[in-house]
Structure 1
Amino acid sequence: MKDKIYAISPVFLQELLITIFNWLAYKKRYGGSYRKFRTIFKENRTLFLAQLKATQKERFSVFLKNAKTSSAFYKNYPDVDLSELHQLPILKKEDLRKNIADIFTVPKATGIVSKTGGTTGKSLEVLFTNDNMQERFAMLDDFRNRFGYQLGKKTAWFSGKNLLTDKDIRQNRFWKTDFLYKVRYYSTFHIKDAYLQSYVQDLIKFQPEYLVGFPSSILEIAKFGLKNKIVFPANTVKAIFPTAETLTEEMYEVIESFFKTKMYNQYASSEGAPFIIECSNGNLHLELQSGVFEVLDENNNPTRSGKLVLTSFTTEGTPLIRYDIGDSITLENESKTCSCGNHNPLVKEILGRIDDYIYSPENGKINLGNISNTLKDTEGIIKFQAIQDDLNQIVVKVMKDDKEFSEKVEKQLIQNWRDRIGDQMILDIQYVEDIPTEKSGKFRMVKNNVKHLISEEK
């Protein structure tokens, strides 16, 4: 009902509704213990490594004890200290999905729900406590504040929010604005050459101090600007904070060149992964205050470059203990230090997954973040894979749980895809018993086999 009301409302009322929604969300995020956490993180910025490790050890002990006490799934876990963490089992994404009800420590009525499709195509819904959510935003804001950001600064946001109407598109208006908090939300569903002129012109007119969101969408805008020799005003954007996707060298080079500013990376997840942040020197740091990072090889032995297994202290509502998140990183040599003042261990590279996309002749590139979000507000979808062998058709293979999947869910799934690819493409949803992994053992959520045709389409 609320979506229908929004769709038929005039723009000023839509933007008022967005502002009200944000105001309610911010009351939860920035209330309670938020300021206490901000003070702690600010004071701890220059802790030495030994102090950070001591804090990590203490927090792990408290976190494990709470999980054993409050979660049916963890109640029989042995008591171990941080040095014995390897004795505990590794939690796979599918284990998390199947046992989620037993893992929860709080009811949905009192927890804060976080829905994520995840870039492996696995549907997840986790719960945070109020304190957990406030601590996570305090840590994220502490990172961004190092580059001058705070709530209320003029910000251009590129995320998976579907806020546009057909009238907006006809009028080349690909954004909606929260005037109270000075945030303009740009659609990431309409990134194609025919529309990019409007994006660039409005960004120049809006003059945001910060850009936040999917880097693949920001990249296309920057490419367009450079290709067409559009000069973005210098000293406008102070910093860019990418989210949800793995960064490439091209992204850094092109985006920073067009917007004439620096991009600062951070790694976390909707499930509640601990943080990895980039400092002013361009180095990535593990944030030991937020959790435990294990880098393991295929035999689950410690290594310098391998899969990332996480224990996150800010997931008390849905405890993540030795969680195989499906990403990989490379640690820097232990002898290397950073002069920025942050003494946390260094990360050489966040490998993540190789980002892919689907191409819609109507809407342009649909990035991995938007594709994974097609699972939002659905249930009973175990895994899916999107395959594009033709410019005008997409095949979506779906593994479903018949106990939870329904016609209503199917309708929502189709609508989610239509919101992204438009109405012109053929959408072929195929229900299958299994979606095999690649020869490497990795699962690809997206297989785009028409990249060679896309330059011709444009």
Structure 2
Amino acid sequence: MSGLKEKIYSKSPHFIQNCIISVFNIKSYKKRYNSNYKEYLKIYKDNNTLSSVELQHLQKEKYQKFLEYTISKSPFYKNLYKNIEDPTLLENIRKLPIVNKEVLRNNTNDIYTIPKNEGSISKTGGTTGKSLEVLFLKEDIEERFAILDNFRNQFGYKLGKKTAWFSGKSLLSTSDVKRNRFWKTDYYYNVRYYSTFHIHQKYLSYYLDNLITYSPEYLVGFPSTMYELAKYGLAQKIDFPSNTIKAIFPTAETITTEIRTVLESFFKTNVYNQYASSEGAPFIIECKNKKLHLELQSGVFEVLDANDQPTQKGRLIVTAFHTHGTPLIRYDIGDEIELSNNSCTCGNNNPTVKQILGRSTDYIYSSETGKINLGNISNCLKGVKGIVQFQIQQHTPEKIQVFVVKDTEIYTKKDEVIFITNLKDRVGDTMEIKLNYVSEIPVEKSGKFRLVKNNIKK
């Protein structure tokens, strides 16, 4: 929402806020779900049983078309590949340089294949804390949602089914919190959005009471939030109604065995995981047999070691076919996965993945709002320009130190105010926030960057 719309929303009563959310979703979904989307959904549904050979052939075709488009439209990639023989052939992919978020950020205008006003903008901080603004074509968004919905449809989900959504939307007013009301509802699409900023022991019973009353068929969103609710429910011996929830679809965070076990035990249903990213990474999806599959129709997946050599377990390098506005080609996304050599009997003949290792699951703890997960922390950059990188350190429950590397030509006092407001939305008003502007934030000995360094977890 724009600044004016946010002000109108914040001043409106609860019922009107629900209506505003419905109107916002109707407009958003109209862009996602049109004739192109329906055509893409049919294609992916028809392709669910393609053989391994057919999938690899389709991947090669899509790769070649994507590279041809990129080289013809992007000055950055045209120059980067000018001395590489046959860069559009998949068998030559390892000849291409690897790029990372910093490369994308420093060359944004030359990487774009379309003017900004012709694309859909996705602003992402990501769990590395580095800001990035990417563009998508309308067709990119439609096809990505078709892939996602094709995955969820296999477990009965369709838009309009009653859903509880736990995402990084800041939707509550002071009045809501005073009334112990931690949700807003889109009655048009049957979605109730639960705040992920108030996961505190003193509020969890209100969440669960409402969740049981609302009786959704599907849970979607940050698994760390659902995990806290499920842990609380099990500890309090709350008996969640059986045969209510048909599936849980986690987003944005890594699913551990512990999280899966707790969620499935309390909510009495199955978790079906999927991996993508707001930058537009290709999809990894879980089948009915609980096996993860690379979706070869969505991109190319390379798993490399520290010397950039192929390995079974290592860092993930992606080429994403649905990123025509800001092409991602051999993009080091900052995650790790482990491949598997096993096949699956589910009918999906895409290669399997043993596990998604992801990033650290650190969090910030606030005595006012509880645990704040990485998904919410990374969203602090929404609406902020000029922050290159940030890191939050917490040594006491009452205070956080925020180290910021800023672009002095872009970053303004207004951006600082928005950034602090975003932080306060997450940690509450009683937490002391100390901003420290620095020229560099050191990486760990392992070479990894940590968005959160929490020294009070125990």
Task: Say yes or no: TM over 0.5.
Answer: yes
Structure 2 match to 1:131: 139
* CA–CA separation in structure 1 for the residues paired with 2:398 and 2:147: 43
- 1:391 aligned to which of 378, 394, 397: 397
Q: Could you tell me how far 1:92 is from its partner in structure 2? A: 1.0
Counterparts of 1:294-305 in structure 2 under 5 Å?
A: 294-305=302-313
Contact 2:360 2:450 (C-alpha < 8 Å) held by counterparts = no
Return the alpha-carbon distance in structure 2 between the equivalents of residues 194 and 219 of structure 1.
16
Residues 307-318 of structure 1 mapped to structure 2, 5 A cutoff: 307-318=315-326
Note the alpha carbon deviations across 1:404-440, whole angstroms, 9 max, x for none.
1110110100000010011001000100111101111
> 1:108 Cα deviation (Å)?
2.0
Match in the other structure for 1:261: 269
Please give the alpha-carbon distance, in whole angstroms, between the structure 1 residues aligned to 2:42 and 2:35. Answer: 13
Secondary structure of residue in 1 paired with 2:75: coil
Q: CA deviation at 1:75?
A: 1.4
User: Per the alignment, in what secondary structure is the counterpart of residue 353 of structure 2?
Assistant: strand
**Superposition misfits of 4+ residues, deviation over 4 angstroms:** none
1:104 aligns with: 112
1:277 aligned counterpart, secondary structure: strand
Asked whether the 8 Å contact 2:389–2:404 carries over to 1, the reply is yes
For residues 416 and 31 of structure 1, the distance between their equivalents in structure 2, rounded to whole angstroms, comes to: 33
Q: Is the 8 A contact 1:29 1:137 kept in 2?
A: yes
The alignment's C-alpha RMSD in Å is: 0.7
Contact 1:32–1:131 (8 Å) recurs in 2:
no
Distance in 1 (CA, whole Å) between partners of 2:222 and 2:154 is 21
Partner of 1:83: 91
Report the Cα distance in structure 2 between the residues aligned to 1:107 and 1:140, rounded to whole angstroms.
27
Instruction: Return the letter of the residue paired with 1:363.
Output: T
The alpha carbon displacement at 1:202 in A equals 0.3
Distance 1:56 1:219 in 2: 36
Give the counterpart of 2:19 among 3, 9, 16. Answer: 16
Residue 32 of structure 1: CA displacement? 3.8
Indicate conservation of the 8 Å contact 1:305/1:330, yes or no. Answer: yes
Residues in 1 aligned to 2:72 and 2:367: alpha-carbon distance in whole angstroms: 53
Cα deviation, residue 194, structure 1: 0.3
Match of 1:213 in 2: 221
Whole-angstrom distance in 2 between the partners of 1:424 and 1:162 = 18
Match of 1:49 among 35, 46, 52: 52
Q: Which residue of 2 aligns with 1:400?
A: 406
SS at match of 2:440: coil
1:380 aligns with 386
The answer for the alignment partner of 2:434 in structure 1 is: 428
What is residue 66 of structure 1 aligned with on the other side?
Answer: 69
**SS state of the match for residue 194, structure 1?**
coil
Distance, in Å, in 2 between the alignment partners of 1:231 and 1:101 is: 54
Q: Which residue of 2 aligns with 1:369?
A: 375
In structure 2, runs of 5+ residues without a counterpart are none
- State how far apart, in whole Å, the 1-side matches of 2:422 and 2:360 are: 23
1:282-293 superposed matches below 5 A:
282-293=290-301
Q: Give CA deviations for 1:347-391 in whole Å, capped at 9, x if unaligned.
A: 001001121100010000000000000011111111110000000
In the alignment, the residues of structure 1 paired with residue 102 and residue 126 of structure 2 have an alpha-carbon distance, to the nearest angstrom, of 12
Residue 43 of structure 2 is aligned to residue 40 of structure 1: yes
Matches within 5 A, 1:234-249: 234-249=242-257
Asked if residue 274 in structure 1 is aligned to residue 277 in structure 2, the reply is: no
* SS at 1:193 equivalent: coil
2-structure distance, mates of 1:90, 1:174: 43
Question: Residue 206 of structure 2 aligns to a residue in which SS?
Answer: helix
Shift of 1:101: 1.3
Q: Which residue of 1 aligns with 2:353?
A: 347
Q: Do 1:32 and 1:134's aligned partners in 2 also have CA atoms closer than 8 Å?
A: no
Q: Percent identity?
A: 60
Aligned to 2:189: 181
Of the candidates 406, 410, 424, which is equivalent to residue 418 of structure 1? 424
For the residue of structure 2 that corresponds to 1:75, the secondary structure is: helix
Gapped regions of structure 1 (runs ≥ 5) = 453-458
Secondary structure in 1 matching 2:334: strand
